[in-house]
A and B are shown apart, each in its own frame.
Chain A
Amino acid sequence: MSANNVEIMLKDIGMVYQADGKEVPALTGVSLTIQKGEFISLLGPSGCGKTTLLRIVANLLQPTSGEIQIEGNTTRAARLQRKYGMVFQNPVLYDWRTVGKNVELPLEIMKIKKEDRKARVKSMLELVGLSKFSEHYPQQLSGGMQQRVGIARALAIRPEILLMDEPFSALDEFTKEKLHEDLLRIWSKTNKTVLFVTHNIAEAVFLSDRVCVLSPHPGRLSAVVDITLPRPRIKEVRDTTEFTTLVAKVRGSFEGV
């Protein structure tokens, strides 16, 4: 892998919060290099700083120490160039806008011409399999469908990096498995770099190229596990011994939990 293929470069990232005059370390010494098009999971229990790390990458937080580069530039520059698409734990849809209008929202902000917006919304909804629901309102959709709208909205701005903050944790197991496969299909079609925050080991193993294991007190990167499972992955992969071995390996790499 050549150096100019690096999407995200984290060097010795530290984050310290001020609480009641005391300094609370949330992250220490996180170094990680992510290649373009990689699917990376940030896995760990609550309090390990995985969401903090995601927010640092997204320019929503400034690290108190260390260095971060997005394609050799600052996170602020990346944000202003709209290189980030974000999917949240709750879909955070606008209930006064139809599904189509929700996906269109970031494009309106980018001041893209109306015809181009419509075309993009159409292709995004096709990608997530919701073409028929463009005129529905979010509250008429199931939780899984709402999250698909969230993914379509994140991808609509054609970001380089898709940031996902426990996007499926509120969904039931069946919907979740379906969305896992859909997400991998969408990812292989769009070639985005994905940073996926989760506390579910099996989910991280199933989806990722590499699983970054974070441990708490203080939050640190305790292991990076390569997931060697072949692609494309289908749900039966979960029943293979390779899969269970990798899950066991990831579980074994936690420290002090």
Chain B
Amino acid sequence: MKRAKGFLTSRGMITVLWVLGIVVIWEIGAFYIGQVKRTPENVLPHIYQIIESVFSTKAVSSGQTALQVVLTSAGATLTRAGIGFLIGMACGFILALLMSLFHMVEKIAFPYLMIIQMIPILGMAPIVLAITHDIGLSRIVIAAVLTFYPVSANTLAGFKSVEKEKHDLMYLCAANKFQVYTKTMIPSCVPYFFTGLKISAPMAVTASILVDTLQGDGGMGCMLSQSLKHAMSIMVFWQLIFFSALIGILSFYLMGLIERLVLRHKPARELRAKEEAE
């Protein structure tokens, strides 16, 4: 009995319940739409229809199957999102480092960081596109800009969270500034840095998809808006919806995974050494 209860409240079980709940609600909706709409696929298809389309070999657009269309467009978008993410990550970290090293830099740069963060992507994207004249480059820039702030702000918070005693310790060891950063400050901010990455990774993906919609040049966002208009390729639309949601979630977990690999030292507290050994 106790075990059954433990299983029902476990994290895995909760996830399963959530997925089941969504599937049930989705299917009820799809069933209803099927009754009242002439082209229900455009509003809400059944989940099995979407899954079926993934494995379908029927060409839907210029000789490609639905899945091929999805993967090609995703490749175009996600590589740009990934490059932008890496650039934003590097710049964010370097700026945080500079802000931590020089108080003046923080005073000058931080307000601008906040402002950049406040501009909606949809407002910023056309400007970036107008400047760069290249949709691929725009995707990179927008993903980088969005990644930049969470990484920078969190990393800076990490630098500031270092205990006063650790600074005292470094001072008493007569450590130079380089040693203070490499031995104490940078390792201390790693968890904060990853918090920033976890926030910005799904954002970078979303932003790149949004940027796609500005210009018909492949890419997931572009395909989303095009495929919705044709009955032939409507399943491409639904596949893209699921695929982008999946990528967003996976990007978050990927960051968590990398963090765990980097911070291998975090053992479970239960591993406490025996007190008797003292």
Residues of A within 8 A of B (CB): 58-60, 79-80, 82, 84-86, 88, 90, 92, 94-98, 105-106, 108-110, 129, 132-133, 136-137, 139-142, 144-145, 157, 178
Structural contact, B165 and A90, CB atoms closer than 8 A:
yes
> How distant is B262 from chain A, measured CB to nearest CB, in Å?
9
**B179 lies within 8 A of chain A by Cβ:** yes
Structural contact, B172 and A140, CB atoms closer than 8 A:
no
Q: List the B side residues contacting A84 at CB < 8 Å.
A: 172
Given A136-B273, A139-B269, CB of A145 within 8 Å of CB of B278:
yes
- 8 A-B pairs with C-beta separation under 8 A: A96-B187, A96-B265, A105-B183, A106-B169, A132-B277, A137-B265, A140-B271, A141-B272
How many pairs of A and B residues are in contact by the CB < 8 Å rule?
77
Structural contact, A144 and B278, CB atoms closer than 8 A:
yes
Closest B residue to A55 using CB positions = B168
> How distant is A98 from chain B, measured CB to nearest CB, in Å?
8
Closest 7 CB pairs of A and B: A92-B165, A109-B173, A106-B173, A109-B175, A88-B165, A96-B265, A84-B172
Structural contact, B273 and A141, CB atoms closer than 8 A:
yes
Structural contact, B267 and A178, CB atoms closer than 8 A:
no
20 other A-B residue contacts (CB within 8 Å) besides A141-B272, A145-B273: A58-B168, A59-B172, A60-B171, A79-B172, A82-B173, A86-B169, A88-B165, A88-B169, A92-B165, A96-B265, A108-B183, A109-B174, A110-B173, A133-B273, A137-B265, A137-B267, A139-B266, A140-B271, A142-B275, A145-B278
Closest A residue to B190 using CB positions = A96
Specify the main secondary structure of chain A where it touches its partner.
loop
Which of B170, B171, B174, B179 has most chain A Cβ within 10 Å?
B174
List B254-270 residues whose CB lies under 8 Å from chain A.
263, 265-267, 269
Structural contact, B171 and A109, CB atoms closer than 8 A:
no
> How distant is B126 from chain A, measured CB to nearest CB, in Å?
44
Structural contact, A142 and B183, CB atoms closer than 8 A:
no
Q: List the A side residues contacting B272 at CB < 8 Å.
A: 140-142
List B144-197 residues whose CB lies under 8 Å from chain A.
163, 165-166, 168-175, 179, 183-184, 187, 190
Residues of B within 8 A of A (CB): 163, 165-166, 168-175, 179, 183-184, 187, 190, 263, 265-267, 269, 271-273, 275, 277-278
Closest B residue to A141 using CB positions = B273
Q: Determine the distance from Cα of A144 to Cα of B274 in the docked complex, in whole angstroms.
A: 12
Which of B163, B175, B190 has a CB less than 8 Å from the CB of A92?
B163
Q: Determine the distance from Cα of A108 to Cα of B174 in the docked complex, in whole angstroms.
A: 12
Q: List the A side residues contacting B175 at CB < 8 Å.
A: 109
Q: Determine the distance from Cα of A85 to Cα of B183 in the docked complex, in whole angstroms.
A: 18
Q: List the B side residues contacting A133 at CB < 8 Å.
A: 273, 277
Structural contact, A92 and B263, CB atoms closer than 8 A:
no
Closest A residue to B180 using CB positions = A109
> How distant is A41 from chain B, measured CB to nearest CB, in Å?
20
Which of A59, A97, A140 has a CB less than 8 Å from the CB of B267?
A140
Which of A94, A109, A142, A157 has a CB less than 8 Å from the CB of B187?
A94
Q: List the A side residues contacting B265 at CB < 8 Å.
A: 95-98, 137
Q: List the B side residues contacting A132 at CB < 8 Å.
A: 277
Structural contact, A129 and B278, CB atoms closer than 8 A:
yes
Q: List the B side residues contacting A90 at CB < 8 Å.
A: 163, 165
Which of B165, B172, B263, B267 has most chain A Cβ within 10 Å?
B172
Q: List the B side residues contacting A109 at CB < 8 Å.
A: 170, 173-175, 179, 183
Q: List the B side residues contacting A60 at CB < 8 Å.
A: 168, 171-172
Q: List the A side residues contacting B187 at CB < 8 Å.
A: 94, 96
Structural contact, B174 and A79, CB atoms closer than 8 A:
yes
